[in-house]
Structure 1
Amino acid sequence: MSSTCVSPALPDSKTATTDPLPDIAASAPTHASTLDWVGMEDISLPLYLAGQPVLARASAGVSLDAAGARGIHMSRLYGALRELESRELDAARLSGVLEAFLASHEGLSSVAEVRLAGALPLERPALVSEAAGWKRYPFRIAARSEAGAVALELEIEVGYSSTCPCSAALARQAIQEQFDRDFSQSAVDAATVREWLGRAEGIVATPHSQRSEATVTVGLDPLVPTLPLPTLIDRVERALGTALQTAVKRVDEKAFALANGRNLMFCEDAVRRLDDALNADYAPQGYRVHVRHRESLHAHDAVARVERRAPDNR
C-alpha cells in the first residue's frame, strides 16, 4: 500500500470570510490622559525643491486629545505624506497634508505638524572665470496646523568665510613695522616699495579667517505661492559677501581674497548684516539669525544671534 501526503486546501483570499482584524489603537488606554504629540520621525521622503530632487527626512504627527483613545493611526499619516512626492513642494501642498492628518483623526486630534529636513543642491558659478560647481544647502521646513490656522517656517544654513577685523589691523601694523625696519635709513621710490610689497619678507603677517555658518529661520505666509529657498540663500550670500566657493581658478581665488579683505567681519557684524537684509521682507512673519565663526585663532567658536518676532507674537 502506498500513501500520498496531501496539503490542506488554503482559503481563497478574495472570497474567504475572516474575522475583523483587531484595532488595538482604538482600545481604552491604561491612563486616560491627552498627549501633545504622537507620530513618526526620520521618514525617508523624496521631494522636489527649486526643480531639484531631494531625499528628505520627514517627521509627522498629531496631538492626541481624546482621553478615551489609546493611540493614533500612524499609517494614515504615512499615507498622507506621500502626497508630497513627485511634484514641486509648496505651501499649499503642505497645508493639504495637514488637513488630511486632521481629517483622518477627526475626534482624536486638533493639532497636526510636518517637519522636513534635507539639503538642496544648487549649481554656483565662480566669481570671475567660467568655472562652476555644486553646493549643498541644508534646510528645514516646519508646517503646523492648530485651531484652523497654519504656521509655516523655513530654515537654511549658508557657509561663508569671515576674516577677523582685529587680526587684519594687527597684520597691517606688523607690515608697517617691517617697512620701517627695512627703509628707515633711506628714501625709497614707488618701484622699490612695489617690489618690496610682493616679497614674503615684506608681507610678514596675514589676518586669520575661518569657515563660518549662518543659520537663518524665517516665518512664511501660509499662502505664499512658492517656498523661497534659492532667493533666501542668494540674499544671505549677497549680504555676507564671502560665500564659500566650489570650482575655482586663480583669478577666482584672487577675487575671493579681495572679497574677504572688503568684508572684514566679527560675528556681531555678520548677524547685523543679515538682520538688515531680512528685515524689510520677513519682519511681518518674524525671523531668527544665528551665526557661528569656527575660529582659527581660538579653540572655541564665536557666535551671535538675533530674533525678530512677528508683531502679534511680541
Structure 2
Amino acid sequence: MSDPVRPPVLPDVAGDQAQAARLLDWVGMAEIALPLRIEDGDGQAVTVPARADIGVNLIDPDARGIHMSRLYLHLQDALARETLGRDTLARVLADCIDSQRGLADRVQLTLKYGQLLRRRALASDHSGWKTYPIELDAVLGPDGLALTLTLSVEYSSTCPASAALSRQLNAARFAVDFAGSAPSFDAVHDWLASPRGLAATPHAQRSRATVRLRLSPDVDALPVLSLIDALELALGTPVQTAVKREDEQAFAALNAEHLMFCEDAARRVAAVLTADPRVARFEATVAHFESLHAHDAVARVSG
C-alpha cells in the first residue's frame, strides 16, 4: 500500500477561536534539553548540558493557543553559539516574542545547569572537580530584560557552642591528669599529642548557602564564577575535592578558625552580596544539616 499524499496545507487548530476566551499568564514548555555555552574556571567558553523552561503570556484572549514549536526551534541552538550573557539572552528572547506574531509581549526563560570548576587542594598538589548548581531566570517584557541568578555553595560549619564545651572538657581532663604538679613543656606537648589530650571534639556538618540575586541592569557577563569565589572565601570552609592527610589537617584548622552558627554564616553571605554592585537585590538561605540534631538549623537574610 502506498503512503497517502500529504496535502499542501496542514491544519493548524491552534489558530481556532478559543471557546472560553481569556488572557493567560504563561504558556510554554518545561524541562527542554539543550546545549548551553558558558565560561569555565579558566576563562574559556565550554558547552554544557542544560534544562530550560520557556513560556510567553497569551495576550489575545480569543486565540486558542501559542506557536509552541516556534519557541522550541528558536531556543534549541541559539544558546550554544554564543557565551551566555545579557546581550545574547535579550536577542534570543526578543526573537521568541517575535515568533508569536502578536500573541505575546512577554517571555520567561529559566535555565538550569551545573557549573563545573576544578578546585585545588588546601595543602597538597592535587585538585578535583566540583559542580555548583546554577539557575538563571530571564524575563523580557515591555519594561525590558530582568535577570535573576540562583546558585549554591557547600561548606563545613563547626558549632561554636560545641567547641566551647569541648575546650572545657579538655581543660578539665588536663587539670585531673596534672593535678598538684608543674608539668614541663615536653610533658604538656606529649600530653596534647596523645589520646588523653582530646577529651571531646566539637560537632561539624556539611552546610549549604543558596542565594537568589536580581542582577543590576548594567551587568552583561554573568558573575557566576566571581560570586562563587567570594562566597567560599567569606565562609572560609568550602567542601573539598581531592584530599590527602595534609589537606584534611588544613581543613580541620580552617574549621577551628571559622566557628559559626547558621546566623553567622548568613551574615557573612549578606556582607558579600551587599558589597557587590552587580547585585540589585538578594535573598539568601543558609542551612546547616546538623550532626547533633535530627533537624536542620536555617537562617534567611535579604537586602
- The bucket for the TM-score relative to the shorter chain is over 0.9
Alignment check: 8 A CA contact 2:82 2:88 kept: no
Indicate the residue corresponding to 2:160 in structure 1.
Answer: 165
TM-score between both structures, scaled by the size of structure 1: 0.91
1:126–1:246: 8 Å Cα contact kept in structure 2? yes
Aligned to 1:70: 64
For residues 110-125 of structure 1, the aligned pairs below 5 Å read 110-125=105-120
Contact 1:218–1:282, Cα closer than 8 Å, also in 2: no
Report what 1:91 is aligned to: 86
Q: What is the alpha-carbon distance in structure 2 between the residues aligned to residue 55 and residue 187 of structure 1?
A: 66
**Deviation of 1:227 (Å):** 1.1
Q: Does 1:240 align with 2:235?
A: yes
Structure 2 contact 213–279 (Cα < 8 Å) conserved = no
Letter in 1 for 2:69: S
1:36 aligns with 2:31: no
- Output one character per residue of 1:187-220: Cα deviation in whole Å (capped at 9) or x when no partner: 2111111111111122110000000001012222
C-alpha distance in structure 2 between counterparts of 1:273 and 1:46, whole Å: 34
Amino acid at match of 2:75: L
- How far off is 1:89 after superposition? 1.3
- Specify which of 14, 38, 46 is matched with residue 25 of structure 1: 14
- The sequence identity of aligned pairs, in percent, is 47
Q: Distance in 2 between matches of 1:9 and 1:218?
A: 55
Q: Which whole-Å CA distance do the structure 1 matches of 2:291 and 2:2 have between them?
A: 75
SS at match of 2:197: coil
Q: Secondary structure at the match of 1:218?
A: strand
How far apart are 1:224 and its partner, in Å? Answer: 2.4
Task: Tell me if structure 2 keeps the 8 A contact 1:77–1:101.
Answer: yes
Name the Cα RMSD after superposition. 1.6
**Corresponding residue number in structure 2 for 1:108:** 103
- Return structure 1 stretches of 4+ with deviation > 3 angstroms: 7-11
Structure 2 segments unaligned to the other structure (5+ residues): 40-44
After superposition, the Cα gap between the structure-2 partners of 1:131 and 1:284, relative to the gap in structure 1 and judged at 3 Å, is: closer
CA displacement at 1:283 relative to structure 2 = 7.3
Cα contact 1:92–1:222 (8 A) shared by 2: no
2:46 and 2:158 map into 1 onto residues whose CA distance is 33
Q: Which has the larger radius of gyration?
A: 1
**Which residue, 127, 130, 133 being the options, matches 2:125?**
130
Match of 2:246 in 1: 251
Residues 292 and 302, structure 1, Cα contact 8 Å, conserved in 2 = yes
Residues 92, 223 of structure 1: 8 Å contact kept: no
In the superposition, the TM-score normalised over structure 2's length comes to: 0.94
For 2:117 and 2:155, the matched residues in 1 are separated by 15
For residues 56-107 of structure 1, give each alpha carbon's deviation from its aligned partner in whole angstroms, at most 9, with x where no partner exists: 1100000011111011111111111121124321111111121012111232
Letter in 2 for 1:239: A
Query: 1:209 aligns to what?
Result: 204
Return 5+ residue gaps in structure 1 as ranges: 1-6, 309-314
Task: Identify if the C-alpha distance between structure 1 residues 258 and 113 changes in structure 2 by more than 3 Å, giving closer, same or farther.
Answer: same
Amino acid of the structure 2 residue aligned with 1:163:
T
- Take 1:218 and 1:302, find their aligned partners in 2: how far apart are those partners? 22
Task: Show CA shifts across 1:235-255 (max 9, x none).
Answer: 110010001110022211111
Aligned equivalents of 1:43, 1:134: Cα separation in 2: 26
Deviation of 1:278 (Å): 1.4
Q: What is the CA-CA distance between 1:8 and the residue it aligns to? A: 5.8
The residue number in structure 2 matching 1:285 is 280
